[in-house]
């Protein structure tokens, strides 16, 4: 086993989470089974690998995404209990799921029956609807991220955190595990939104119903291009037992055109629920039918020349007529009884019978996790959880409920809607001093102190661009953990427009001083020959008297003086004849006498 995975075994994080064993490993993190020593319960702890924990930007993003997902609370979403940082270790504490992934289930069973696929799809859709309502996009819906409990409950894992793992897979060319479920807009490199999750869910539905992927290929690029083209075979061409309406819903969910797709998870859920209700009201083919044909075969009268006498034939004919009338009467009665039974079961019973009701229990004062995870409660109620800061109520305890306890409510198949308000508790902490620190450093310190942050920007002539000017509240102030600290960041000095001075004719040193005196920056000098005196500025990168922003870099051209004129070649002087001297033979001289 990897020593990096072993090194946390037997250790305790933050004096609370005792690491017991490794239960999973991915490219970004390792998942351990652990014990929460404070609440005495088993949990799953996901620890960020060392190479990512040392990346400040990645660590900050990890914390932000994890804290956002921790606010989700839904029976079909794996709960995030805590997010922590200690001694350079980044970790997330999650609900421990005893079950298998949907991928493992399908590998063992193959294509699922449409009723089972519908049951799972409705639960996944409810999970997406809840997460999307909180502004959380999963970005990596696939069977590997969907857990199944023994009772058939679906729990979607890694909301928000999947985005980090997906990004890491793309950097290390390991996207083949997710590319089968990738939305066309993601394949094109565009930013995914809630409709991308709906597309991926549609692909999972397709796989559950048919037992195969809508698109496959030899490489991730081939598969991605097929998603963009959107030419998947109809599910019924693979499995004719799939109802036509369920096929229509599936193909609309995974429509390559984002505008033709379901626009919200709620729209998809509504169609799935309508389909389920329609199927529960459809009478099975041939159920309750029992006609007279075939029970009493036609009686063919015999001729007078047969063995029966005319009187006997007349009696047989009268008896046959009576039997036919009785059979017809019985058939009509059976038909009417069948119609009545059908109407009673699906319409009249609701009118003439008293609907089953339940008295709403008092959940106030209980721990919300115990309430929403109780099987008896989950079978009767559809919980929505909101949070409120209350210094007088412990964290996780229910403050109020809507409707109030004691009300008699009608039991409905989709569950009685109950809203629970849960206390976040209040723990005050000191606002850290992050002045003159970079934004990333400030984010990490604020989050380690239990605060959220909201950036604001302002110009500053004293503080470097990208560094913190001030915080609200100011450093040293007391503030409830979980509150938002407004961080004002420098966007650099406020620039003003000035008139470009004339530098031509000045010496290089004089020109540079003029630039600095006008809050302009000297960039560089090019030296060239010219008729101007050496050392004189003959050109500037921005013409004089033009408008220019402060601190603009200005280039200069400086004269090295005129080019040197070469010395003329001297003309040779003819030799002078001395009386009595002869010229050398073979040489001719011309003189102008």
Q: Which residue has the tokens 């009300």?
A: 407
Quickly list H helices, 149-303: 161-171, 176-179, 184-187, 194-210, 220-229, 235-238, 244-253, 265-280
Both tokens of residue 256?
Answer: 């390559």
Residue 367, C-beta contacts closer than 8 angstroms, at least 6 positions apart: 396, 397, 398
The residue among 113, 104, 190 whose CA lies nearest residue 148 is 104
The residue among 507, 487, 505, 494 whose CA lies nearest residue 442 is 487
Handedness of CA 137, 142, 145, 151 (dihedral sign): positive
Give the integer Cα–Cα distance in Å for 475 and 435. 8
Q: Which residues of 152-189 are buried (b: 16+ CB within 10 A; e: fewer)?
A: ebbbbbbbbbbbbbbebbeeeeebebbbbbbbbbbbee
Burial of 57 (0-12, 13-18, 19+ CB in 10 A): exposed
The residue among 168, 149, 146 whose CA lies nearest residue 158 is 146
CB-based contact 8:53 (threshold 8 Å): no
CA atoms within 13 A of residue 105's CA, in its CB half-sphere: 24
Both tokens of residue 185?
Answer: 């807009």
Q: Which residue has the tokens 């250790």?
A: 11
Number of H helices, E strands in the chain: 19, 24
CB-based contact 62:90 (threshold 8 Å): yes
Catalytic annotation on 267? no
Residue 84, C-beta contacts closer than 8 angstroms, at least 6 positions apart: 13, 14, 90, 91, 92, 93
HEC states along 573-589? CCCCCCCCCCCCCCCCC
CB-based contact 46:84 (threshold 8 Å): no
Cis before 70 (ω within 30)? no
CB-based contact 387:424 (threshold 8 Å): yes
Annotated active-site residue in 6, 14, 55, 140: 140
Both tokens of residue 249?
Answer: 């819903």
Give the integer Cα–Cα distance in Å for 147 and 397. 27
CB-based contact 75:147 (threshold 8 Å): no
From the CB of residue 227, how many other CB atoms can be counted at a distance below 10 Å? 25
The residue among 201, 210, 258, 269 whose CA lies nearest residue 234 is 210
Q: At what angle do helices 102-109 and 194-210 cross, to 10 degrees?
A: 20
Catalytic residues: 140
């Amino acid at each position: 086993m990897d020593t990096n995975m072993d090194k946390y075994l037997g250790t305790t994080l933050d004096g609370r989470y005792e690491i017991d064993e490794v239960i999973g490993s991915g490219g970004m993190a390792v998942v351990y089974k652990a014990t929460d020593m404070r609440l005495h319960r088993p949990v799953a702890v996901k620890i960020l690998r060392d190479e990512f924990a040392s990346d400040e930007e990645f660590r900050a993003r990890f914390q932000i995404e994890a804290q956002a997902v921790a606010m989700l609370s839904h029976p079909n979403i794996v709960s995030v209990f805590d997010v922590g940082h200690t001694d350079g270790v980044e970790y997330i504490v999650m609900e421990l799921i005893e079950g298998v992934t949907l991928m493992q289930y399908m590998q063992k069973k193959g294509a699922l029956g449409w009723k089972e696929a519908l049951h799972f799809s409705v639960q996944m859709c409810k999970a997406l609807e809840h997460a999307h309502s909180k502004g959380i996009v999963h970005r990596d819906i696939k069977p590997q991220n969907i857990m199944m409990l023994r009772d058939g409950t679906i729990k979607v894992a890694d909301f928000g955190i999947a985005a980090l793992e997906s990004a890491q897979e793309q950097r290390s060319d390991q996207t083949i595990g997710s590319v089968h479920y990738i939305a066309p807009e993601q394949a094109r490199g565009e930013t995914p939104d809630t409709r991308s999750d709906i597309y991926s869910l549609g692909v999972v539905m397709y796989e559950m119903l048919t037992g195969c992927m809508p698109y496959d290929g030899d490489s991730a690029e081939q598969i991605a291009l097929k998603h963009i083209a959107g030419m998947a075979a109809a599910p019924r061409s693979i499995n004719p037992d799939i109802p036509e309406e369920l096929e229509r819903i599936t193909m609309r969910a995974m429509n390559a055109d984002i505008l033709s797709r379901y626009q919200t998870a709620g729209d998809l859920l509504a169609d799935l629920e309508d389909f389920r209700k329609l199927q529960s009201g459809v009478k099975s083919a041939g159920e309750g039918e029992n006609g007279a044909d075939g029970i009493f075969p036609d009686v063919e009268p015999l001729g007078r020349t047969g063995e029966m006498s005319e009187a006997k034939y007349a009696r047989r004919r009268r008896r046959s007529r009576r039997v036919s009338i009785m059979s017809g009467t019985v058939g009509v009665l059976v038909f009417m009884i069948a119609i009545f039974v059908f109407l009673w079961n699906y319409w009249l019973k609701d009118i003439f019978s008293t609907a089953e009701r339940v008295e709403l229990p008092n959940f106030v004062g209980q721990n919300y996790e115990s309430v929403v995870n109780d099987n008896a409660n989950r079978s009767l109620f559809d919980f929505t959880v909101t949070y409120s800061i209350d210094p007088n109520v412990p964290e996780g305890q229910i403050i109020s409920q809507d409707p109030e306890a004691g009300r008699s409510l009608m039991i409905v198949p989709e569950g009685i809607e109950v809203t629970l308000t849960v206390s976040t508790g209040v723990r005050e902490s000191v606002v850290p001093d992050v002045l003159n620190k970079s934004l990333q450093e400030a984010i990490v310190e604020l989050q380690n102190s239990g605060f959220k942050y909201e950036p604001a920007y302002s110009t500053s002539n004293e503080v470097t661009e990208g560094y913190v000017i001030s915080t609200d509240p100011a450093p040293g102030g007391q503030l409830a953990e979980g509150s938002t600290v407004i961080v004002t960041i420098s966007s650099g000095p406020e620039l003003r427009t000035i008139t470009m001075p004339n530098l031509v004719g000045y010496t290089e040193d004089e020109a540079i001083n003029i630039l600095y005196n006008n809050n302009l920056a000297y960039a560089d000098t090019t030296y060239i020959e010219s008729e101007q005196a050496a050392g004189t500025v003959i050109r500037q990168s921005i013409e004089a008297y033009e408008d220019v922003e402060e601190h603009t870099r200005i280039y200069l051209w400086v004269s090295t003086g005129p080019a040197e004129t070469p010395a003329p070649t001297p003309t040779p002087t003819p030799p002078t004849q001395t009386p009595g001297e002869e010229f050398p033979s073979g040489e001719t001289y011309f003189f102008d006498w």
